Structure 1
Amino acid sequence: MRKPKSAFARHGLAALASAAVVSLLPGCTPAAAPIHAAPLLFAHPGVLVSREQLDFAKQQVAAGNQPWKGAFDQLVASPYAALDHVPVPRAVVDCGSYSKPDNGCTDERKDAVSAYTDALAWYLTGDGRYADKAIEIMDAWSGTITDHTNSNAPLQSGWAASIWTRAAEIVRYTYNWPGAGRFGDMLRNVYLPKVINGSQSNGNWELTMLEATLGIAVYTEDRPTYDKAVGMYLDRVPAYVYLSSDGPMPKISARSNLRTPEAIIKYWQNQSVFVDGLAQETCRDFEHTGYGLSAIAHIAETSRIQHEDLYPQVGDRLRAAFEFHARYQLGEPLPADICGGKFDKKLGPITEVALNALHNRMGQDLPETQQLTDQIRPEGVLMFSLWETLTHAGNPN
């Protein structure tokens, strides 16, 4: 196994990343350092999947190679690819906790997933009907929505915008879409205000919101927003996944009001024993932890496509977290001092992006993650983790 160097030791943003994480000493907050991470020229399509990655997937599907052909068959057979799908846009999407009330929340996510599914189907088949359907869905929403309300508005905005931007990037840069500018206005005016300032709720909230923010920045070519999202990301990731090199307690965000060990333990779901790869939400459940880990990988993947690779900063934590959670998802009993020996193991289909980046590109060994991935392929749809066996399995680009 080739052990990677320390994540903060291999990139020009290392000092900025470490400056963004505060000490556990009460009242010790470092001076903020500006982040300059945005590319001089944005790459398009450039949110989670690149043109080169799409071309690789298209070649594999055309050749009938697995697992890509099976993943493609799953995609085109899904209701999200149905050409008779009718979008259900709303002026105001009103979402409470756990989508109660659900006034447009599920409809919005379904339409966003359908638009991305259609965008992929268009690129991989060359059938313009899929592109037209994606445009129909995106135009319906960009001509209707004005706001998100209620307690889950920031999270709902993050879920939806992280998917909208993937679909929009593919269609805008591979097809004729007259409404592309209005869609950008929607992202900028309706979604971005809800996500750009992050959240101090459970970490999956902010990580999802940052993924959306970065995607919007790429689509609208907004360099200051891109820089802000990267700075917040480098601050949040070390506060979400623990490494023993952090010391006896997890790191905390520079924007957090957690200033005592007791407060940190409570925030970490009352977990007081910390081991490599444990996440802030592990002892809540694996499903929400998976949302957070998925967003970490997605942001790093988008940054790599934009030629400002963040994997060196987060790779050590991402590898430890995926190996830790995959091990117990595969059936190994959880130690009694971790989450009381009990956990909700529903990690979900979220491993392909990180596995491909860390193992296939960077040469790191992730045996537990590989075994879990082999069991659940092809990865389908889970919230904002979509069709990732098709787009990222073994993808060298």
Structure 2
Amino acid sequence: MSDLHQTESGRGPSFGRRNLFRGAIVVAGGLAAAGAGGIGIAQAQSFTHPGLLLQADDFDRMRSTVQANREPWISGWNRLTNNSHSFSSWQPRAVERIIRGNNGTDPENYWLLMNDMHAAYQNGLRWKISGDTAHRDAAIRILNAWSGTLREIGGWTETSLAAGIYGYQAANAAELVRGEPGFDRARFQSMLANVFYPLNNDFLVRRHGTCDGHYWANWDLCNMAAILAIGIFNDDQAKVDEAIEYFWNGKGQGSIQHVVPFIHGDLAQWQESGRDQAHSMMGIGLMAEFMEMAWNQGVDLYSARDHAFAKAAEYVARYNNGHDVPFTKFVWYNGHNCAYNEQTVIGEGGRGQGRPVWELVYSHYYGRLGRAMPNVWEMLGKIRPEGGGGDYGSTSGGFDSLGLGTLAYVQERKPVALNRLQSYNLQDRHVRHAYYDVRLDASISPAADAQFRLVPGLADKTGVSFEAANVPGYYLRHYSYDFRLDPNNGSSVFAADATFHPVPGLADGSWTSFRSHTHPDRYIRHYDYLLKLDPITTTTGRADATFRITS
């Protein structure tokens, strides 16, 4: 089926070539802000390896959690080891010519490349975690076979899908074994540069001679991902720049200005939402993988357009969880003559389907940033642990993402201990949230809504923020000097309102008081059993503003 289509509507203002490319740089596990001026094109001239979807610390985390038999990583590991693609006995089936799309003469055989690239990735991953060199050797055997054999990718227009999807996946598989004995890296780099990249580039530039808006977003996204992955694997800065430039300013539906055509508050309509849900989820997976590869090279694209991708992921997840979402009429122009098309309702096809694309999204926005992603979290409750290629059927849709996110991407939230806030002058009472209001109540059982994770302050790491233990991504924050439990929407205002600075207790220095980040003259206190943000004098409120952190 042809993947035709697209939009001229909903486009935001154009971005200059140097806008916001390096919004944040990964430094020692945290984030360091870029300079005041936005940057739109990659500046680094050296590359981190391994540095595509996974980095060295990701392998360390997977190895330690699996060895300790910890959830959810061990369930993700079991999903990997039960997949036949991860068996070290896998034998490659390399051919000189791959065909995807019916061109009237050649039979399709792209499934050979598709399965082998997932087998190489899964074996490489097993080796990285277990140390079993039989899996490393299997990955090398597969990759060497293809780089020594493949000469052409052909077919109909779907050639662009094959070059895009399997191109970025091939580079990721090869990154796992890039410096290992027996792997012919130079030959693999040559294959990526000479067989895959010309097709990726041609699609983004020429688009088979069609209107700019003709093709669905996933066509752009897979070719963007391939160019970025090839650029990183080949240490080719020009290709990395090309992919990032297209992300910001590309004429097709995969650029950030087009892939999210409409913002609906904390939700954002995805470009393929009016088409169907299987392709919408495919696009979410491809964009997340594109952004993660950039992130691992020190480039933050996740925050583009005020975290529009987070809002889009929430939108797609919410609809596929069975809830309603807003939908704005989507207009595009397709074909060689730019014919007018429109979608007026959201597409229901494939609604509720499970795809292994959500862990990576959640890992970044919640795992790294602490942002609430309630709809993605609800989806994860249905599909965990995520599998990989071969776990979702034998057709191409089951291989669009490398998957295995429960094993590979889940971030540890630190500190892991759960805490309660005990009142100094009413020591039988603790702070709790009840229906998102915040009050001081007598101990309750179970006390899940009286437990919090004390995490580094969202606005200032020297402070603290109180994350609800039973509602991930929801924090205590002040609002008009009252307190409530709200989802972290990623804004600077929310971060500031949810950040507090511990000081010696105002009534007893062995206890703790919490000064507001936004109002340094005010402290958390209780009044009529409700939490307030009030100024404290030398004579009033000191005991009310004093607490003990208990486990």
- Per the normalisation by structure 2, the TM-score is 0.58
Question: Per-residue deviation at 1:389?
Answer: 1.2
- Equivalent-residue separation in structure 2 for 1:98 and 1:352 (angstroms): 37
Aligned position for 1:237: 256
Bigger CA drift: 290-299 or 330-339?
330-339
> Aligned ranges for residues 348-387 of structure 1 at < 5 Å?
348-381=355-388, 382-385=398-401, 386-387=403-404
Match of 1:55 among 52, 55, 60: 60
| Greater mean alpha carbon deviation, residues 277-286 or residues 90-99 | 90-99
Q: Is 1:302 aligned to residue 309 of structure 2?
A: no
Q: State the partner residue of 1:292.
A: 283
Give the aligned residue type for 1:349: P
Deviations 1:184-220 (A, max 9, x none): 1110110011112424511101101110110000110
**Residue correspondence of structure 1 range 322-341 to structure 2 within 5 A:** 322-333=313-324, 340=345
Query: Residue 243 of structure 1 contacts residue 317 of structure 1 at CA under 8 Å; is this kept in 2?
Result: no
Provide the C-alpha distance between the structure 2 equivalents of 1:34 and 1:366, rounded to a whole number of angstroms. Answer: 28
Question: Which residue matches 1:209?
Answer: 223
TM-superposed deviation, 1:104: 2.1
- How far off its partner does 1:84 sit? 2.0
Residue 134 of structure 1 pairs with residue 125 of structure 2: no
Change in 2 beyond 3 A, CA 1:15/1:50: closer
- 1:394 matched to 2:408? The reply is no
Whichever residue aligns with residue 370 of structure 2, its letter is G
2:307 aligned to which of 290, 300, 316: 316
Structure 1 stretches lacking a partner, 5+ long: 1-6, 18-32, 246-273
Q: 1:99 to 1:379 in 2, by over 3 A?
A: farther
Deviation at 1:13, TM superposition (A): 4.3
CA RMSD of aligned residues (A): 3.0
SS of equivalent to 1:244: strand
- 2:270 corresponds, among 279, 283, 286, to 279
| CA–CA separation in structure 1 for the residues paired with 2:301 and 2:104 | 32
Supply the AA of the counterpart residue of 1:85.
W
1:141 is matched by which residue type in structure 2?
W
SS of the counterpart of 1:331?
coil
| Higher Rg | 2
Q: CA 1:238 to 1:12, structure 2 compared with 1: closer, same or farther past 3 Å?
A: closer
The answer to whether the 8 Å contact 1:39/1:308 transfers is: no
Alpha-carbon contact 2:269-2:327 (below 8 Å) kept = no
More moved, 218-227 vs 288-297? 288-297
* 1:218 maps to which of 208, 226, 232: 232
One of 72, 78, 86 as aligned partner of 2:83: 78
TM-score normalised over the length of structure 1? 0.80
What code does the residue aligned with 2:323 have?
A: E
SS, match of residue 14 in structure 1: coil
> Shift of the alpha carbon at 1:57?
1.0
Name which structure has the greater RCO, CA cutoff 8 Å, separation 6+. 1
Please state how far the C-alpha of 1:16 moved relative to its aligned partner: 7.5
Distance 2:306 2:383 in 1: 23
Q: CA–CA distance in 1 between the matches of 2:103 and 2:78?
A: 31
Q: CA deviation at 1:112?
A: 0.3
CA contact (8 A) 2:232 2:240 kept: yes
1:27 maps to which residue? none
**Structural mapping, 1:67-146, within 5 Å:** 67-96=72-101, 103-146=108-151
8 Å CA contact 1:163, 1:384 repeated in 2: no
Map Cα deviations across residues 120-174 of structure 1 (whole Å, 9 max, x no partner).
000000000001000110011001111111221111011111111111111114x
Partner of 2:336: none
- Structure 2 unaligned spans of 5+: 1-11, 23-37, 250-254, 330-343, 389-397, 415-551
Distance in 2, matches of 1:38 and 1:290, equals 31
| Greater Cα shift, 42-51 or 190-199 | 190-199
Closer/same/farther in 2, CA of residues 52 and 16 from structure 1, 3 Å limit: closer
CA distance in 2, matches of 1:95, 1:356: 33
